[in-house]
Structure formats: structure tokens, C-alpha cells
A = this chain, B = another copy of it.
């Protein structure tokens, strides 16, 4: 790959946008040439417009760039979107209609039947939906799932394939950064947890079904579609005083008997649909099972595989369903910016970027 692909970032000053900036400015394939944000920020330097709050240094190149508005710009064939849902619906459609591939971290189009909702290792093949060409020109939208969905589905996928899954219970304990910046007030998370995150449980109960679903090619010339998986998922979402790293307590019923060593082997051996594709952001292993009795923990394990590896631990029988275990994934890397970049890499590798 001789020259890098010029890309834009929508919503570049927000929490996920900052992570995108942090990860993309020395990416081997992509080169951010446009940092876009709301009209309020447009025209200012990125250093001024963004209230940079990551410990990683703001890349000097980014700092000096002038923030652009969110109007489609044909200099880029690919745009990352980290817009708020309110702004995203209109903007993302505009960029797509302009013939640009939108790789989005926003919820707007995730459940749209014509839009792929993809975790590369799990259902990279769903990108075939892009061939539907429902968007004029060559543009299109690809979406990255909710930050909690990603950890859950990655942990489920090997078991889904090997044993079948009949039911899933998940209680999440989600990090503050999942709410963006400013996000949750400190007053709500000092000596406290909050048993509610608006809209989150619904996402966690529906998105996995689409992701675990099956792509069916359309009849001659007809667009393909996704046949969703069919299993009940019950989610309860809590906010906890953790900076990064969503924890999930998961119980499930399998389709057939499994021994614990087989379940662990399924996780440890899982490489998924990115195997062999040599994508720059793909971790060596998407999943890592930790045998220590008190792991995974957010502070200790969230940066495994550069924040792209989901950690699992504490597999043990569930007296109500079959098995229970603990899952941890980094919500702003694997669950947002990093996941979105990996998805864009997959689009490039699979030839969806024209």
C-alpha cells in the first residue's frame, strides 16, 4: 500500500472522536485529512476546539488542523463517524449519498435492514449488504455495534457456533467514558452506581441478534438480507465509577451439553473472520480467557491486545441456565474507536472502498 487513504472524521472533538484521532494519526493505511465537528467548532484549530482529555498526547498534526464542518467532502473516499445520534442521521446519509463510505460508531442505522452491523471477527461477511447499493453512487454506511454489544457478542460467538445458544442473561457494569464527555456527573458516581442507562438495554437485547444472524444473498439481482438469530437476551445495564472498560456478568443456556474445558477452548482458539487478513488493528487474539479467580478487572485487563482483546474469566456452572462467566471489553477502543477502525480496514481489505 504505497500511499495512504485520505479519511475524514465526523464528530472528531467528542469522546470517541478523540480516540479516533489518537489511533488514526499514525495508522499505516489511513491518513486523516479532515477533522469535522459541529458548526460551533468549525474554523478553530483542533487543539482549541477539542477539550483533549486522553492521557495519550494529542498528535501535533491533528492539533494544528483547522476543524471543518460536516458537509460531505469528496476529497475523501472514507469517513469515520462519531457523531451524536441526533446529528448523525442526516449527516451520515449525506456523506453516503455523496458516494463516500461511512464507517459509523453511531446507533442511527445499526438496525436498518439495508445497513451492515458488523464485528469483523464475527460477521465480516455481512458487509455483502453493501452490494445492495441502496445508496446512490458508490457510497454506503457500515455500522459498529454498541460498546456493550461488542464484548458480549465476541464472547458468545464461539459458543454460538460450537454449541448453540438458547438464552442469555447479561448484567453490565459500564464505564463512565461510555457516556461521552462531559457525560455522567461526578456527583452521580462518587460512592454510587446508577442502575439505568437510557436505551442501552434495548440495544443489548437486539443488536446481537442481527450480528449473529445469517446473510442470505438475494435472488437474481435482488438485494441480500440478514436473517437474525433467534434467542432471548435479557440485559440489565448499570453505570459504575470506572473510567474505561465495560464489565458483563453473563449467564447462558447452550444448545447442547458442553464441558468447561471445551468452552474455554472455543474461546481460546477463536480467531474469527479476520484470521489471515492481516488487518493492522486486529489483535493477535480477539478473546482471552483468564484463569485467575478474580479476573478480568477493568483496570488490570482492559488494555489487553491494545484494548482490542475481550477478556473472559470465571466460567462456572449456572444453577438456573447452564453456564456463567465474566466478560470485560474496553468500551472506547474495542467498543468504539478501535472497533470502527478495524471495521474500516475490513471494508478496504474486502474491496468495498472504490
Contact = CB atoms under 8 A, between A and B. Distances in A.
A191 interface: yes
A326 interface: yes
Contact of A187 (B169, B176, B313): B176
Contact of A168 (B171, B176, B320): B320
Interface in A216-247: 232-234, 236, 238, 240-243, 247
Contact of A298 (B54, B192, B234): B192
Interface stretch (A112-120, A269-277, A288-296): A288-296
Interface residues of A, number: 58
Contacts of A187: 53, 176-177, 181-184, 243
A290 to B, nearest CB: 10
Contacts of A326: 195, 236
A195 B249 contact: yes
Contacts of A1: none
A247 B54 CA distance: 18
A55 B299 contact: yes
A188 interface: yes
Interface in A26-85: 53-55
A169 B169 CA distance: 9
A193 to B, nearest CB: 6
Interface string A278-312: 00000000000000011111111111000000000
A318 interface: yes
A167 interface: yes
A236 to B, nearest CB: 4
Interface string A178-190: 0001111111111
Given A184-B185, A186-B184, A187-B53, A192 B297 contact: yes
A193 B174 CA distance: 10
B319 A240 contact: no
A321 B234 contact: yes
Contact of A318 (B185, B234, B241): B234
Nearest to A182: B185
Contacts of A189: 186, 190
- Best-buried of A181, A185, A189, A241 by chain B (most CB within 10 Å): A185
Contact of A183 (B167, B185, B297, B324): B185
Given A190-B299, A196-B314, A238-B247, 5 more contacts: A53-B188, A169-B320, A193-B247, A233-B320, A320-B321
Which 3 A/B pairs are nearest by Cβ-Cβ distance?
A182-B185, A196-B294, A192-B299
A196 to B, nearest CB: 4
A297 B247 contact: no
A183 B188 CA distance: 10
B320 A191 contact: no
Contacts of A313: 195
- Interface centre among A190, A194, A249, A319, by most chain B C-beta atoms within 10 angstroms, is A190
Contacts of A169: 169, 251, 318, 320-321
A24 interface: no
Contact of A242 (B177, B193, B232): B193
A173 interface: yes
